[in-house]
Amino acid sequence: MKNRILIILTFALTFIFNNVKAQVVFLHTHFDPPLTLLRPNNLPVLDTLKMDFNRDGVADLGISWSGWPWNADFISLNPNWDWTIHRVGESSPLSSSNSLWLHENGYISDSDEYEWGVRLKRGNDYYYGWAYTDAFSEPNPGMPFNKIYIALHEMVFCTIPNYPLHWGQTSLDWGVGESEETIFTTLHPNPTTGQVTITGQDLKAAQIINALGQCVATVKGEGEQLTLDISNLPAGVYFVNITDGEGRKCVRKVVKE
């Protein structure tokens, strides 16, 4: 009897744990105090400020001093991701076609703040995140330069593939933006009680992603229309992840009534 109860409790706890884990869409990490990296007096630099965006126990990116006195490199630490970064603002989603994604270092200036967009690629999908850093200095007696630090205050990773994340966004409560590439598609009816028709040119595939980041429906085809049947899904907000023949991707919001 005790063994049966233990088995039931084990299954129950596993179910609860998996569901709680699945509900985390925005992995938001706030460092208080911030993580800091001192710029040493002599190069080469061996220390790295490490960032584990998706909290899988493996650092994805790192920041390391590379030049004197204010050059810092972003370093790829996870071979399973293809990564790029860029300096961002709050006016457009990171997935905007105007974003210039680069594999290169960032210029760090003393007493300045930096808003970094991060794009990680796995397979054919992009995952977006952001990081907030700044630099500061303090006296360094006996040396010609002050001690200079990079500080990592905050970072976010969104688990929904191709989601049009904005810098500073930490939850779905912001409302759902749409990437600028959506010009190649239209989606109707929206809201819907059942079928959703996607119209565009050279469409290849579409996925329905729920608010937990899970793919709940998929359709593939070729042509100017794709149709998704979501009549069996619960009412709520979903994201339609669309791919065309040129490999472009966009995310649209659809409301199931």
| Cα gap 22→212, rounded to integer Å | 6
pLDDT in tens, 59-118: 998 888 776 556 777 888 888 888 888 777 655 677 776 677 777 656 666 667 778 888
pLDDT in tens, 145-174: 778 888 889 999 998 888 878 888 887 655
pLDDT in tens, 174-217: 544 444 444 467 788 888 888 888 888 888 888 888 866 677 88
Instruction: Output the 3-class SS for 147-171.
Output: EEEEEEEEEEEECCCCCCCECCCCC
Please report the domains of the chain, with CATH numbers, ordered by start residue. 24-172 (no CATH), 178-256 (2.60.40.3080)
Which helix (H) or strand (E) is 17 found in, with range? helix 2-22
